Structure 1
Amino acid sequence: MDIDSLFNIVFQGKCPKCNGNMSPYFEDEKIYNKCEDCQHIVLELEKQTR
């Protein structure tokens, strides 16, 4: 999956598994996107360190 597809999922906010509403949340320096309905976690991005 390319980065554009990942961002589309994040900004559209729909779960690919059940089409429910996704909620992004932050934990341990990472970004997650979890479905409110089926709890499916779609995305986990680590922050870039420079």
Structure 2
Amino acid sequence: MSTSFDSIKRGLLEAVEHAEGRAPQTRVHRPRPVDVKALRSKVGMT
């Protein structure tokens, strides 16, 4: 199969393992909250 398919399949299998608590090496990135009002004001957008 294609490398794209293999990559997607591997990612989905890792997601299932993570959801079931079986993937301790998985990193979870949680972005910080963004103050959209302040950001828009800073760049001059309404």
Give the TM-score of the pair, scaled to structure 2: 0.28
Q: Say which one has the larger Rg.
A: 2
Higher-helix-fraction structure = 2
Higher-strand-fraction structure = 1
